Structure 1
Amino acid sequence: MGEASLDANQNKVNEENENQETRPSPDVKDDAKIVAGKRKLQIQGRWRGVDPVIFYKDEAVVGRIMEFYGIKDSLPFKGHLITRNNDMNHVKRIYYISNSVKEVLELNFLAGQQLKIASVGLKMFERQTSKEGASAPCLFRISSEGLPLILPHITKQILYASAVDFKHLLQYKSIKFPDFVDPDFGQKASELMLGCCVVVLKREGQAPSDSSQDVTPIAIGCWRGRTNISVMVTAIDCQELLERVSMLLLTKEDLKPEGNNPTIPEAGEEGKVNGSDIKEDSTEMAPETLD
């Protein structure tokens, strides 16, 4: 399937959509009235009121994302990104799709978008709209939904925190570089580029880059500010993660009851101490003599 052919079909469909926006069919007049004054009526091929599905092909932005996070070739990336917005300059979210979904979408474009697609892809990146985010080298941060998928494939903007510092981040939401318990962690955090970063819980006895252990990593998306690290997850998610981390950090010593419990002898061993038998005194008491 030729790339030029696919682009031509997609551009043709987009032009048809723009021409049809001013001539809505009678069965969608009510929908047009609802969205009037709020936002432009979205059109997906022949389907009105449905967000379009567009392959995201801004090579400059995609290249910056790959460079910023150090995305490895092990993750098929280019050609697997889509958006739901025709205006590439105002894309808020970028979704990731698999090879099989990519092939279906390409065929759908060639067929004139006959499929009505309400939801597709995994939300991978979101545009950071804050003032500080606009000055970052990469405008897009990794979303919580996409983090588990992309985490094994990134080599930059990643930190490994001790259990104490990880819990403090979840509790206080934002910590300045010098205030981390592990000074080495604070130093490494200050050396990251301004923008999104990922903080991974470092398990005891596990090397920072060790992925050989069959353990699902616990990680959160954060923002490396000018003087601090701030978490970028909701308060509810922070609380759930905090409870999960607390359970994982329980040691065997924590599970042991306090004090020494007496040993209860097994049946048939009541008369044994240190391996020797204790014989009960069988001497009968003589009855008292009555005067």
Structure 2
Amino acid sequence: MRSLDKTPKRLYFVARSVGELLLADSKEVLKVTATGLKVFERQVVREQVNECAYRLAQEGLPLVLPYITKQRLELPAPVLLELLNHRNLILPGGTEGDTTEKGAPKGVKPTLTDPAVLAALEPLKLGCVVCELAAADARALGFAAPAHATASDARALAESGAAAAAAAAAAAAAAPSGDGAEEVTGGLAANAPLAVVGWKGKASLAIMVEKAECLQMIDKLSAELKKQQEAAAAKA
């Protein structure tokens, strides 16, 4: 994105051909209102050390998710559903029911208690994290399982995209190790894995997703869980 600000609010991923066209338009003859896919957003954090000025944007998450090797947290379906419903889960030892800076009550949020999830969350750094449906649950419910791209795919992405987006990608994610990408199967395999951009704070785990998109994910996940429960009850 062309900007006079050294740290623009948003970074967009565009094809190399589009990037070259925009860079060639030095006199700004083209009237471009918007282009590309929003991948990163600037994040200002108070009272916390933030290693990167940007966080992932939900809009561009399906594009970069396979290339992220760190800051990924797999959640069982019930935990992910609870996170989508409440948008914020208190971590053990965190404070709930406090007031905001303006004095308004925050309300009571549920506490994250799943031992496996807490153990997986512990080594992750404070800041942006990807919360995704666990691979086992994804396969059982017919969703696309978490995918991991090859190192060559990561290089191809960096070489084909805009320089600003590639630089931000290098700061947020490293090229994965391994020989191949994980096979994606299931009824919804054509779609991206069920994943959301989250934020790990000192006292809570929150998601950075619009409410409308959350509702769509809740409906989709709830429907598949209901089908699974009905199928299990029929076999019993």
TM over 0.5: yes
**Deviation for aligned residue 1:209:** 6.2
Between the aligned partners of 1:217 and 1:208, the Cα distance in structure 2 is 6
Question: 1:95 corresponds to which residue?
Answer: 12
TM-fit CA distance, 1:213? 1.6
In the other structure, the counterpart of 1:126 is 41
Query: Any idea what the Cα deviations from partners look like across 1:198-240, whole Å, max 9, x if unmatched?
Result: 1011143658667312323100011010122111112222222
Q: What are the superposed Cα offsets for residues 82-120 of structure 1, whole Å, 9 maximum, x if unpaired?
A: x2421214x2111111122122223323xx332221111
Amino acid at match of 1:196: C
Match of residue 183, structure 1, among 115, 118, 137? 115
C-alpha distance after superposition, 1:126-158 (max 9, x if no partner): 1113415x6321121111111111111111111
Counterpart AA for 1:119? A
- Runs of 4+ with deviation above 4 angstroms: 205-210, 255-258
Determine if contact 1:160/1:202 at 8 Å carries over to the other structure. Answer: yes
For these two proteins, the number of residue pairs brought into alignment is: 174
Name the CA distance, whole Å, in 2 between partners of 1:119 and 1:208.
30
Structure 1 residue aligned with 2:57: 143
- Mapped to 1, the partners of 2:203 and 2:79 lie a distance apart of 16
Structure 1 residue ranges without an equivalent (≥5): 1-82, 259-291
Alpha-carbon distance change, 253 to 188 in structure 1, aligned in 2, over 3 angstroms? closer
Give the equivalent residue in structure 1 for 2:4: 86
Preserved CA contact (<8 Å) 2:65 2:147: no
The RMSD of aligned alpha carbons is: 2.8
Gaps of 5+ in 2: 93-110, 140-144, 149-181
CA apart distance, 1:194: 1.1
1:233-259 deviations in Å (ceiling 9; x for gaps):
12222222111111222345515897x
The offset of 1:197, in angstroms, is 0.7
TM-score (norm 2): 0.65
Query: Which whole-Å CA distance do the structure 2 matches of 1:171 and 1:85 have between them?
Result: 36
Please give the secondary structure, in 2, of the residue aligned with 1:170.
helix
Distance 1:245 1:175, change over 3 A: same
1:232 partner amino acid:
M
TM-score by length of 1: 0.53
Other-structure match for 1:155: 69
| Partner of residue 212, structure 1 | 183
Q: Which residue identity does 2:122 align to in structure 1?
A: S
CA–CA distance in 2 between the matches of 1:219 and 1:108?
A: 37
Contact 1:176–1:227, Cα closer than 8 Å, also in 2: yes
Bigger Cα Rg: 1
Which structure ranks higher in relative contact order (CA pairs < 8 Å, sequence separation ≥ 6)? 2
User: Pick from 219, 225, 229: which aligns with 1:249?
Assistant: 225
Q: Which of 120, 124, 139 does residue 192 from structure 1 map onto?
A: 124
Q: What residue identity is the alignment partner of 2:9?
A: K
Percent identity over paired residues:
33
Deviations 1:133-192 (A, max 9, x none): x63211211111111111111111111110011011012221133443531211221221
Sort the Cα spacing of 1:85 and 1:209 in 2 relative to 1 into closer, same or farther, 3 A.
closer
Residue 226 of structure 2 aligns to a residue whose secondary structure is coil
* Aligned counterpart for 1:230 among listed residues 202, 206, 220: 206
8 Å contact kept, 2:10–2:42: yes
Cα gap change, 1:190 to 1:256, in 2 (>3 Å): closer
CA distance 1:87–1:242, change in 2 (3 Å): same
Cα distance in structure 2, aligned partners of 1:185 and 1:222: 14
Query: 2:71 is aligned with what amino acid?
Result: Q
CA contact (8 A) 1:158 1:199 kept: yes
d(CA) in 2 for partners of 1:105, 1:223: 33
